[in-house]
Amino acid sequence: MEIKKFIQHAKELLDLDDFSEDKKKKAIKKLLRKLEKRKDKVKVFLHKKPGDRQRKEAKEELELIRYHIKKGKKLLAKLEKK
């Protein structure tokens, strides 16, 4: 039991819990950058005037990307408040 207390005390002292949150923040930021790049590619594709079916698929993909970006930004803001 003393070992668990020691480890917990060491974690609190060294703020190791924040380290894991930093990893999450970095991962989310990296994912958001990738989603932004993908969104730009889809927009460029839509400007090339694709066929009706391709246009519909690209618009659906763009909606999904926007949704995930919005969700990622909310999650990132939530992590930064802590």
| Residue 49 DSSP SS3 | coil
Instruction: Check: CB of residue 31 under 8 Å from CB of residue 58.
Output: no
Per-residue pLDDT of the chain (82 residues; tens, 9 = 90+): 577 776 776 666 666 555 677 788 889 999 999 999 999 999 999 999 899 999 999 999 999 999 999 999 999 898 888 6
The pLDDT value recorded for residue 79 is: 84
What's the confidence (pLDDT) of residue 39? 95
Enter the pTM of the model: 0.72
First to last CA, the chain: 29
Q: What is the pLDDT of residue 61?
A: 93
Residue 50 amino acid letter: P
